[in-house]
Amino acid sequence: MIEISELYKYYGQRRAVGPISLAIADGEVIGLLGRNGAGKTTTLRILACDLLASSGTVKVAGYDAVESADSVRANIGYLPDTPPLYGEMRVREYLGYAARLRGVSGKDLELRLNDVLAQTGLVAVAGDPIASLSHGFKQRVGIAQAIVHRPKLVILDEPISGLDPAQIKEMRGLIRGLAGQHTVIVSSHILSEISETCDRIFIIRDGEIIASGSEQELTAEADTGDRLQLTIRPDGDLSDLAALRSLLEATDGVSDVVIEESTSGEWQVKLKTATDRRALICQRVVEAGGGLLAIVRIARELESVFLELTDARVGVLSEPGDSGEEASA
C-alpha cells in the first residue's frame, strides 16, 4: 500500500524528516509514535500530498505522490491534527461536500453519507451546525470526512488529542473498526493510544524511524538487562537513604537507581542492571544489615521502551499511571 524510500524534508537548512524508508501492507493499522517535534506530522503531510518532500519517493497504492498526486489523493483520507471543519456548515452537508470533492456523487453519495454517519456515531447530530458540536464530535466529523469516500489509506494525525477518557475509549473503537476496510496510519505521542489500536508501531525521533515492530517485538528488542524493584527496611548500616544509594550505585553493573520512601517506612527501590545481578545485590544489602523484604523483576512496558529510544528521562522507570504525562511532556 505504501512504499517510502529515502524520504527527506528540509525546512531551510534544518532537517525535519529523513532518512525514512519503509513499506506498509494493505489492511495494516500502523502507529507512528514520537515526541512532539519528532517529524510525525511532516511525514503524514507528505503522505497526504499536502506537503512536498525535499527528496526521496513516496508511493501510495502504486502511485507516486509527486508525479500522480491526484491519484494518490483520490486514494487517501486525511485527518490533520486540527480537523478541517467549516463551523457554519451542518454535519451532513459538510460530509457531502467532502465526498463530492473526492468525486462521489449521485445515489452513491447518499449511501455513503448514511453509512459514514452510522459508522462514526454522528446520526443524532447530522443536522447540527459543526460549530455547535463538542470537541469529541468534531473529531468524529474529522474522521468521517476522511473515510466518507472509502479511501484505501486513512491517515489520522493525533486523533485522540484533547478527548476525555470516555471519548478516547470510543475513538479507539472507531479506529479499530477501520481495520480491514482501510490501511490506517495513526500518529500520536500517547503510548496507550498506539499500543491498543495498532498492529505495528514505528517510533520516530528527530525525523528518523529508529525502531519498528509490534509492541512485543519492540519491547523484546530493547529489553537489554534487567529492571528490578526492591523493598528494603532501613536497618544496620542502611539506616539512611544516602547510605543505601551509595551502596547500590557502587555495585558493579547497577545504574538508574531511584528510591522512594513508602508510608510504612520501607524504601521502594527501582534500578537497572546490565546483566542478572540479583544475587550480588541481595548479598550486599544483607551484609550491610538492611532488611531485604522483596526483590522482583519488572516486566518492560512499551512506554519505557519508547522513553529510552527517544532519549527521554534517564534513570527513572515510569509508573503505569503517568505514561501519558511523560510522553507528552
Interface ranges with another protein (CB under 8 A): 11, 48-52, 70-71, 73-74, 76, 78, 80, 82-86, 88-89, 97-98, 100-103, 145
Task: Pick the closer one to another protein by CB: 80 or 213.
Answer: 80
DSSP assigned state of 80? -
Inter-residue contact 35 to 188 (CB < 8 Å) = no
Question: What CA–CA distance (Å, rounded) separates 84 from 99?
Answer: 14
* C-alpha distance from residue 39 to each of 15, 22, 122 (Å): 9, 15, 32
Q: CB-side exposure of 143: number of CA atoms within 13 Å?
A: 30
In the complex, least distance from residue 83 CB atom to another protein, rounded to whole angstroms:
8
Instruction: Report, in Å, the least distance between residue 100 CB and another protein.
Output: 5
Cβ distance to another protein smaller for residue 145 or 310:
145
Nearer to another protein, 147 or 201 (CB): 147
Residue 288 has φ and ψ, to the nearest 5°, of: -80, -5
Closest CB to another protein among 86 and 164? Answer: 86
Whole-angstrom Cα distance, residue 116 to residue 306?
34
| 123 vs 131, beta carbon nearer another protein | 131
In whole angstroms, the minimum distance from the beta carbon of 51 to another protein comes to 6
Q: Output the smallest distance, CB 176 to another protein, in A.
A: 23
110 vs 261, beta carbon nearer another protein? 110
**Torsion (CA) 222, 319, 215, 146 in degrees, nearest 10:** -130
Nearest distance from residue 54's CB to another protein, in Å?
9
Using a 10 angstrom Cβ sphere, with 0-12 exposed, 13-18 middle and 19 or more buried, the burial of residue 145 is buried
Reduced to 3 states (helix: H, G, I; strand: E, B; else coil), residue 13 is coil
Least distance from C-beta 99 to another protein, angstroms?
A: 10
Asked whether the CA dihedral 237, 240, 243, 249 is positive or negative, the reply is positive
